[in-house]
Structure 1
């Protein structure tokens, strides 16, 4: 053994410290990187962190190998005689030093880049100096130590001289060299602490926020302490130092391992979500311009809020705005604001681009008032992109794409419109993103709820028929690929009413656009639908006509009689007509007679009811459109039987069919609907017998329709599905239809109508699972091949999710119907699909 004094053997301490910290650091790094990969927010700090961990593992190997093999340090007499003069110890020594400094540098650069994301473009001078000083010093320290160690090792190093005593020349003393490196190393650690510390001093905060800042600083201090202690130990004698100053003893080696792995742990914990809160947004500062002084909201990175809505959100959220992994938040926010969508979409104009944080209520002040959407709550972090995209020289679409930070399953969702509207359904955009979809909507080529812009402009009608949705989807796919770095894995569509028609038209005309389409209450056979809606007003007359039936009579006398005749058919009196096919309302029971002189209808009014509840036909008996759903009276009084023209139909005939704003809805007759169907602009009819291309590529289509629909009769979707089934007996393989008992138009009603069909409350309160949520059912069908056999609808108390569930009921796959088998009718077990 060696003649030198070695002191006690403390190798067990080095092994324990190194292996414990190595395991902790490795677990945390894997956790962090896996989480960030799943969120697609991997960045430079992560790559540096992975590199630093890899280098630190190599460093640990070079440190531990001699200890595990021989139990001591690197002195020549501690090594077996056969390798004392070999090249291996020299290489081992040099690599040990290089890996230590390279690891320290990379880890500190990782921490520094994390702070850059948190404090980008910092307002405070001390923060800027600390950040840039770190980069400069770490570059110096890595180059200085790597080069110096290389020279000293292979020119003449004291340890090498001890290994090879016959070496000629005078060895240099590297003590000063090591001291200089240690000081620089410590100084960089101190600077890392100054970065958050300067933000703490920048403004007054609440005590909770101060403690969170202090915690972040404490993480930096833990690493700094190791570096400072190692500097002190260069001057403080320890075991073997008095007689063998060249011996690489155990205690400083242990501290070196602690310093390195503490740095890895610090840089990882600092950005783990949801462990800790950070407090980096919402610092207010006063910005003075040459023309005026104004109070402007600035986050602690010094970046001005880009829109007034961002300022309002910052004010409302205050200093606490996000959770740690704040660099994830910053990475996504910066990626959102730096994204350039107009570069990808030809001739487009950017109308809005903003990062929207979870919990924000967007104020839609620039939305068209008739769209009746003044605000929209947002529940997830997302990037909002709004463009105006031209579709011709005379037309364009308003386009919005909401890109969530958590893009679950790489799914895309397009949303539809309603009525004759040009209104983006912001509630559906929020609904889609809340479930992890990148979600798109357009104004369908025009603004507002009327069709006046279609007058003498066929390009807008073309957008309305099909082009707006297709253009929006094509644009959205380009933007998603650029933003997320990959194409969506699966493409979906969700719409109801007009939106249902839009989805079916997309399957017919652009079968590759979507993998799965949810088309609720679809407005198929569109031209004849407009005729059927228009026919009610000439029948009912205006409110001042002699035989007009008042709204109260519809909602009372008539509705009660419909239920009396039809509610019992399914075996349960609950206000729900479970099987509308079996309900044929006999209005003559309400006619006044000597035995019933009051609370009745005159002969002319009874005749009105007979026409209203009958199928709509041409004089020769040819069907134009199926009969109205009985039981819809409570809602039908708002449009169909309100004693006023149905506005959507009136606009269609005025601005599209006849291009005549003076067209009088009271003059409507079957010649008008014949004219509309013959014109059929841009094949808006949407009434295919088959969808062969959509079927061939594996597309899936799902429709649902309420049994007490007050705008589009359920019998029309039933007729449409039967028509397609007669052409393809394997229709269920790709197109499934569910009748929703007790649902009005698209939502609401006495039945269990909530199936997650859109963003309107309480439909949005439905869990995202295939049995209860129609969109989730479509996802399971497309991605797992699990075709839905039923949908369980939910009825909330007073249609408010927070009030709890009143009852649930399964809605059967057509042609099956719900059959009551006994028991509590509010229990799903009391019903079967037969």
Structure 2
């Protein structure tokens, strides 16, 4: 539901409390823009924030205003609470279009505030309120809230799990998902932080991964004045690109005869890559760290996978080799997508994956796991990339829930080409112009797995290289750190890093200490506790030949 009528009892109660608040602020009612100007006011108690109304003028984006629906003090002794005493606010930002869902948000205000705030990004298609009570991505140390940060997140303007794309039928919801929810929630949170503490944050940060990583780059590109530092991990920068490539992969598997790969064959590919490349970094540790060295062996690896050819053609041997059609599916993944037309910001391609360098496509987010195409695409059965791409075509592009993406011609989309362009501008984060963020001295940390099976690490690297080409290496080094992690996939993998990225970012912003090599602790179940250096791209961890192979001190950062 959008908006709320004058007969709504919740709004009447909120209006009374708002009137009391306005009186406390001394003449605020005569000047609504005062909140947007962020003038310092007397701090309010947590309970006083319940029912507060924020007028549309307090949010620098079109809304129907915001309402704080609840304000509750959470005691440090509460069951399950590891964040200390804090005030939890929940609320909504009203949509403008009838039928468009409101944006739901949560804001957490610690009793012992450190003067900083962190906005959390979402995941997938969002749809679930990000509470901000947990750790930032890949940093399972003490959560920011427990460290004194005010934290907040939202659902991006629709409800449902992160796999549901049916909100794509609603234009305002799509725009909210693409970028506007970030601004709306930021401004509402900032106004409430000021009311709680009597001042605005000294530093404002953003932290997210995957969709949240795209959101991190989005705020740098669209709202550079609002943030001092961003953690944007595994960013879905070219959102349309990865969805369209997912459609093409599905077509290779399900429309091309013999193009499907069973889980056994996918493990066969992974095992051959590991056998050829595991020790290129000097350590037999189950991690392919020297990805570029492994890429040089790619032709050899592919030949070792190919089925023997007889006069009648390739002969498959029970999940022990790959036919030309199966290799073509993997090569589609490796080569990515080249379009004969440009999406927003002249994006004409989506870089492919490190298919033959240690990506395990049997993960939950990998390729198909069903022996045949299911009637309804699903992540596990038909594969994450295809299922997400299919939903994107149905709901965002064609607005036809019955449309079958298997028949969609990505390279010749006809009447849908303009729609693809508009969507890529609305949701994508491929804009290379970040000059305002650079001028303000904003900082950025990005971490991603070289074995990522969902968001191509090569797309992230290409954007980074584009920044260097545009601004020069020295200027990019002054604001950005890129850490590409061997063995790490999209939240899983043979090495899952844990590192204090927020501490590194805050040290950079507040004290000018630029992070260099960081140390990551592996939290993968089979190898929990081992450590490795997080090397700045393009360097990778190489074993020195001395010392404990499970300790970062036994590795050095080497350049390919």
TM-score by length of 2: 0.76
- Counterpart residue number, 2:529: 806
Q: Deviations over 1:610-656 (max 9, x none)?
A: 33333322479996211212322255463444462633322222222
Tell me, in whole angstroms, the C-alpha distance in 1 between the residues paired with 2:77 and 2:305.
Answer: 53
Partner of 2:503: 776
Matched, 1:708 2:431: no
CA gap 1:676/1:787 in 2 versus in 1, 3 angstroms: farther
Whole-angstrom CA distance in 2 between matches of 1:780 and 1:557: 44
Alignment correspondent of 1:753: 497
User: Residues 567 and 655 of structure 1: is their aligned pair in 2 closer, same or farther, counting only changes over 3 Å?
Assistant: same
Which residue in the other structure is 2:21 paired with?
none
Equivalents in 2 of 1:590, 1:421: separation in Å?
38
Q: Partners of 2:317 and 2:396 in 1: how far apart?
A: 47
Segment of structure 1 superposing worse, 391-400 or 489-498: 391-400
Matches within 5 A, 1:329-728: 335-340=45-50, 342-346=52-56, 347-360=65-78, 378-394=82-98, 395=100, 396-408=102-114, 410-426=115-131, 429=134, 431-448=143-160, 449=162, 450-455=164-169, 457-541=170-254, 547-554=259-266, 556-584=267-295, 585=298, 586-593=301-308, 597=317, 599-618=320-339, 624-630=349-355, 631-636=358-363, 638-642=365-369, 644=382, 646-668=386-408, 669-672=410-413, 677-680=420-423, 682-728=425-471
Identify which range, 425-434 or 644-653, moves more after superposition: 425-434
Query: What residue in structure 1 maps to residue 3 of structure 2?
Result: none
Q: 1:533 to 1:358 in 2, by over 3 A?
A: farther
Pairwise CA distance, 1:787: 0.8
User: Contact conserved, 1:445 with 1:468, CA < 8 A, in 2?
Assistant: yes
Long gaps (5+) in structure 1: 1-333, 363-376, 756-772
Are 1:688 and 1:724, in contact at CA under 8 Å, matched by a contact in 2?
no
Displacement after TM superposition at 1:393 (Å): 2.9
User: Cα–Cα, structure 1 residues 610 and 649, in superposed 2: closer, same or farther, change >3 Å?
Assistant: closer
Residues 216 and 231 of structure 2 are in contact (CA less than 8 Å); yes or no, is this contact kept in structure 1? yes
The residue number in structure 2 matching 1:787 is 514
Tell me if structure 2 keeps the 8 A contact 1:653–1:676: no
Shift of 1:675: 5.2
Aligned residue pairs: how many?
461
Deviation of 1:684 (Å): 2.4
Compared with structure 1, are the counterparts of its residues 587 and 341 closer, same or farther at alpha carbon in structure 2 (3 Å cutoff)?
farther
Structure 1 residue matching 2:225: 3-state secondary structure: coil
Query: Which protein has the larger Cα radius of gyration, Structure 1 or Structure 2?
Result: 1
SS of residue in 1 equivalent to 2:445: strand
How many angstroms apart in 2 are the aligned matches of 1:403 and 1:588? 58
Residues 1:348 and 1:427: Cα distance change in structure 2 (over 3 Å): closer
Cα deviations across residues 737-785 of structure 1 (Å, max 9, x unaligned)? 111122111x332125112xxxxxxxxxxxxxxxxx1111000000000
Structure 1 length as normaliser, TM-score? Answer: 0.52
CA distance in 2, matches of 1:521, 1:549: 26
What is the aligned partner in structure 1 of residue 13 from structure 2? none
Q: Distance in 2 between matches of 1:525 and 1:697?
A: 25
Using a 3 Å threshold, how does the CA distance of structure 1 residues 627 and 546 change in structure 2: closer, same or farther? closer
1:46-96 per-position Cα deviation (integer Å, ceiling 9, x unaligned): xxxxxxxxxxxxxxxxxxxxxxxxxxxxxxxxxxxxxxxxxxxxxxxxxxx
- Say if 1:649 and 1:547 are closer, same or farther in 2 by CA, change over 3 A: closer
> 1:534 is paired with a residue of what secondary structure?
helix
Q: Larger relative contact order (C-alpha < 8 A, sep ≥ 6)?
A: 2
RMSD between aligned residues:
2.8
**1:339, 1:494 → 2: CA distance?**
26
Q: Distance in 2 between matches of 1:735 and 1:750?
A: 26
